[in-house]
Structure 1
Amino acid sequence: MILINEEDIMLKVTCAIIEKNQQVLITQRGPHKSQALLWEFPGGKIEPSETETDCLIREIEEELNLQVELGLRLTPVEHNYGNFMVNLIPYVCQYKSGTIALREHVAYNWVSAKDLNRYNWCPADLPIVEEYIRRKK
């Protein structure tokens, strides 16, 4: 049996920067989740034998009832939350269809790139916010 420290747990997670009408969709985590009530780009954990892109399409459909078209892959971020690490893999996506139904989050907003810094973000999402804003200038 191999024992690992909790610090060694690395979660591979995808997230979507969903664009629609010059705005981006952001979502707020629930009050009983880790990183409670912080804002994030929606997404989720990659299942075994699942590709990054398959994961992201599935997660956005499951969590938000939206269909998206995946585009540019931005720089992945590794962040240590103390009891686990996350490898967050961002994709810029285009909204295709669907009406938002919040199944995992408590709130959402469509915001312009210039207003993204006004929100209290999950730490792993911050470098992605910064890269996205730089690319939009």
Structure 2
Amino acid sequence: MIEIYHHKYTFPKVLTLGFVFIILIGTLLLLLPISTKSGHTDFMTALFTSTSATCVTGLSVVHTSTHWSFFGQLIIAVLMEVGGLGFMTFAVLMSRLIRQRMQMSTKLLAKEAWNFDNLSQVNVIFLILRLSIAIQLLGSALLL
């Protein structure tokens, strides 16, 4: 159980709420006029695109290259990255980048999210991140 503002939540509930939060933030960013080439998109299109990108399904109701601006495409790419690696990966990464010690509840949530047997395996995440970045950079270089 994790306590947030005097309310207790189970680990699966926190993970689910985290994904919902990421999807809603993505939706709000895709609703901004700067996100589209025409300057406007409807709520359902932004919500569907944000959900699809976060859940890494790749579905879209509009043509990505003609409807979304560079900023919108960047938001979609970030949502795909967060969805693919998991938002807990980025939470752990951010805590490490600011040199903050992770609380035990965060470690337990990460252990639950990645299905690890013990907490010492959390360090494997940094290997996964480095490999992911290296493979993406190699793919980008090949596409160039």
TM-score interval for Structure 1 and Structure 2 normalised by the shorter chain: under 0.3
Which structure shows the higher strand fraction? 1
Q: Which has the higher contact order (CA 8 A, sep 6+)?
A: 1
TM superposition score normalised by structure 1: 0.23
Of structures 1 and 2, the larger Rg is shown by 2
Structure number with the higher helix fraction is: 2
